[in-house]
Chain A
Amino acid sequence: MRTIKFLLQKEFRQIFRDPAILRLILIMPVIQLMILPWAADYEVRHIKLAVLDQDHSEYSRQLINKITASGYFYLEANTLSYDQALQQIENDKADLVLQIPAHFEKDLVKENEAKLFMAINAINGAKASMGGVYLRTIIQEYNRGVRTEWIQLPRFSAETQIEIATSNWYNPLMNYKYFMVPGILVILLTMVGTNLTAINIVKEKEIGTIEQINVTPVKKYHFILGKLIPFWIMGFVVLTIGLLIARLFYGIVPIGSFITIYVFSAVYLLAVLGLGLLISTYSSTQQQAMLLSFFLMMIFILLGGLYTSIDSMPEWAKWITRFNPVSYFIEVMRMVVLKGSSLADIKYHLLKMVGFAVFFNAWAVFSYKKRS
């Protein structure tokens, strides 16, 4: 016990003497939480529209007005020919071209049927399909307006109608930041936990001070506990800063209890610290450790469901996510913060996380050798 106390004293002194690490711990949460949620906004709006109006009729003008009034589209250019319109897309001046062919109004009124043409820049497929759906919806609505103008539909129409009532739970304002901030908090804890531990131990290897510890009677588990505990505490500091920022800048107050968040984080931190230990035993230079943890982090984060939903992944990727601690914590964080899930709701997640923690740490302790 006394040995651990002295080791802890040494570690804390080292941490507080190194301004780079302190800066990392304090600045990283602030930067990530202040900037990332603003940047990470997938909602499709601000679609740049180029119009090719060959009809110049009352109806075509009405339609264009209706589209620009929707708020999703910006009328970027009125073009005179199809080639010119395509050029707008090539130069990224427009995302979408709407062509209103000549005799649009005449066809609609006289022939009962008229055509519109759209061309969408589909390099970003998701944005293109959403943009297409939006525009179609607006056109359909316009169409309905035209129809009621011409025919008086009977009040009790023979047309069957299913009314769809939609309600959005847990985030009725549909604020995307509520969704991103809890996820980013997880990334933060993971990066702090894994990187700092791995690099800290490898640095001792690189400078050679680990040899000095290895020749002392300090036990294997003493040394490892001495390394884990300071960063475990550091993780809580970062988590608290993160929760404060979420509260002060985004007004996010967890609906679930803080106890649930902290209990789960305690176990989660143990797991990622173990991962850091593991990385450190398999690398001999800081450069290697950094690259390895960066590589693993990239896979964990990309397959963690932060940006894209895990449900849409193919089977093999879903299978990987089951071995990804990050994906569990992101899910839990969102459940507790947004839906108010309790410890009972997340007990399976917690159990699996305990498994991860035991597994990583046992492996790391097992493969750490005092002899080189």
Chain B
Amino acid sequence: MKQFLAFVKKEFFHIWRDKSTMFILLGMPVVQIVIFGFALTNEVKNAKIAVLDNSKDAATVSLITEFSASRYFDLETNLSDYKQVETAFKKGDIKMAIVFPQHFNEDLQHFNKAQVQLIADASDPNVANTLTSYASAIIIDYQNRITHSRKLPYTINTEMRMLYNPQLKGAFNFVPGVMAMVLLLVCTMMTAITIVKEKEMGTMEIMLVSPMRPQIVVLAKAVPYLLLSIINIITILLLSVYVLEVPVNGSILLLMAESILFILVSLSLGLLISAAVDSQQTAMFISLIALFLPTIMLSGFMFPIENMPLPLRTVSNIVPAKWYYIIVKSVMIKGLGLQAIWKETLILTGMLFFLLTMAIKKFKIRLA
């Protein structure tokens, strides 16, 4: 036990002395939370638009005012000719153009009918869809206002309730995702690389000839990263509660216990990688391609899993982060207890045992 502690201490010194790595490891969650929390939204707002007003009458002027007053649109330019629409799109200045034909107000007054054309830059289909529906809503509102809002018969009213996240904040979705991403990076990638580094430098050999049991040597490498990860989780939770105002609705103890389970899974994954490869570059390559990308893509926090084709949906089941993400969402945001997530917990535990056995089995005492 004393020997083990001595080894743990040695590893701590290794990490402690490399200040820039430490800084990044501890700063990473902060930066991620800030970027995800404040910079990234799927919501579309302040989209630049151009107007081609061929009519220039009272109706079009008040409609254009409505558009520029809306928080979704920023009126960028007034065009004078249909050809300019294309030039504006090609320069990348605008996301949508609104074209009013001649005699807009006259048509509206005399025939009770007028046309307006919305041209969206659909190179991003989602933004195009959202913008045209926002624009239509503004136009329909205007139309309802000028018809003096007579009450129509046979009306269905809908009442909507947003559960868990009434302000529709993006943070509720990604805080659990950031937790999974940071933990995986710290535990798997860093652990794998430090062990492989000792192999590459030849210091591993020195330790293996010592009277310590080799498993202890390797486990001692994992302990500091376990502690670092716990610090990171606490940072993320504090930031999300006090800065992003995402509450922890469920039991914090359960959340920590589940996080430690996920940390252990990631650590054993790192150990397995380190046992299988010999160079730092390969270790990085595997962590990046085989772990990091699937975690971002297939855990469900960046991209909706239900939209993916069947093969990807099947593969997503072996990504540990997917299960952890479901657990964190249920405990932290929905405030559910263990009975709601026992299945996911069981799956993670199973993965832990499988990976650990594999790692121990693969670990070679003798160098080739």
Contact = CB atoms under 8 A, between A and B. Distances in A.
Question: Do A and B bind?
Answer: yes
B115 A165 contact: yes
A141 to B, nearest CB: 11
B308 A41 contact: yes
A308 interface: yes
A164 B142 CA distance: 13
B255 to A, nearest CB: 16
B285 A23 contact: yes
Contacts of B231: none
A174 B129 contact: yes
A167 B96 CA distance: 10
Contacts of B81: none
Interface residues of B, number: 108
Interface in A113-132: 113-130, 132
Contacts of A24: 285
B155 A143 contact: yes
Contact of A125 (B160, B169, B309): B169
A56 to B, nearest CB: 17
B90 A335 contact: yes
A72 to B, nearest CB: 12
A118 B18 contact: no
Nearest to B166: A122
B80 to A, nearest CB: 19
Interface string A26-67: 011001100110111111111000000000000000000000
Nearest to B335: A90
A283 B124 CA distance: 39
A161 interface: yes
**For B21, B160, B162, B169, which residue has the most chain A Cβ atoms within 10 angstroms?**
B160
B210 interface: no
The 6 A-B pairs of least Cβ separation, nearest first, read A125-B168, A168-B122, A126-B42, A317-B39, A122-B162, A174-B125
Interface of A: 18, 20-21, 23-24, 27-28, 31-32, 35-36, 38-46, 86, 89-92, 108-109, 112-130, 132-133, 135-136, 139-140, 142-143, 146-147, 150-151, 156-172, 174-176, 178-179, 199, 203, 282-283, 285-288, 290-292, 294-295, 298-299, 302-303, 307-309, 311-314, 317, 331, 334-335, 338-342, 345
Given A171-B125, A331-B92, 14 more contacts: A39-B308, A108-B154, A109-B154, A112-B155, A114-B155, A119-B160, A122-B163, A122-B166, A128-B165, A168-B122, A285-B197, A286-B280, A307-B40, A312-B43
9 contacts: A39-B303, A41-B308, A42-B42, A118-B158, A125-B42, A140-B156, A160-B146, A309-B127, A311-B47
Interface of B: 18, 20-21, 24-25, 28, 31-32, 35-36, 38-48, 74, 89-92, 95, 108, 112-130, 132-133, 135-136, 139-140, 142-143, 146-147, 152-170, 172-173, 185, 190, 193-194, 197, 279-282, 284-285, 289, 293, 297-298, 302-304, 306-309, 312, 326, 329-330, 333-334, 336, 340
